Structure 1
Amino acid sequence: MKSTKSSLLLVALICIALLGAALYLQIVQEMAPCPLCIIQRYLFAAIAIICIIFAFLPAGTAKAGAGLGLLTALGGVGTAGWHLWVQAHPGTSCGVDPLETSLNTIATAKMFPQLFRADGFCSTPYDPILGLSIPQWSLIWFAIIAIVLGRSLFKRR
């Protein structure tokens, strides 16, 4: 169980670092986040919170935390995949639409607008980072997180 708790804390640290990287890109590089970017931020934040909580609960609950985190990471894989599809089809956009309006009215968007307010367009082609777009990086990290949490969930004692 100790390695499961360590995995949970590692995943939480990775998610927090990715949220920090997103803020860097938004503030310093002036890349406005779109609604799908914000949904991915919520998912990274949810994974971090789940992992931190379950890492400090009794040992028997760590696998449940890995399972919840895994489900959330799979949701992130789907969201990042949809984001890539939107970017590959420029006629499709999730810009100023009901999704953005509803995301920006959530309490967390009002309390932490710098982190959770959607202001950009999903189809905006920003320069790649090390050869990959931001949604590609998100997809990779959600997949890595899902693998780590899946291994923690399904490993035998």
Structure 2
Amino acid sequence: MFNPSKEQVRQFFTEAWRKHRHGQSLTPLEAQALDWMLQHPEYHADLEDPGAAQAEYAVEGGRTNPFLHLSMHLAITEQLSIDQPPGIRAAHERLLRRTGNPHEAAHEIMECLGQVVWESQRLGKPFSSEHYLDLLNRRATLL
């Protein structure tokens, strides 16, 4: 299983952004990441700043970690592509119908993913796909 370090993740995004800016070829994963980077212009300066790639993004600072946010987009994209956990694709379809916007639907999923990861870390329990899917399904059926 691929388990990159924080530095490797940040290097992946900054390198993909650099290659995009210089018109160089991207790997399929870099191209997928670029799609999300382009949808987040508020992160472009961070992707070009070597200092931002080294920065700590504490919650108390009130600023979203652009590398974590983009990583979550990629994780969700992968989950949807293989329907893992089973049912995430159907929940995504319902979120798409409810929001009418693929990016907003992805952010709805991200909220659920973030909550389950946070709870897992805080409580020292394994990640619960069932809880994740339950949160997604509840969010997908909101009116």
Structures share fold, TM-score greater than 0.5? no
> What TM-score, normalized to structure 2?
0.32
> What TM-score, normalized to structure 1?
0.30
Higher relative contact order (CA 8 A, sep 6+): 1
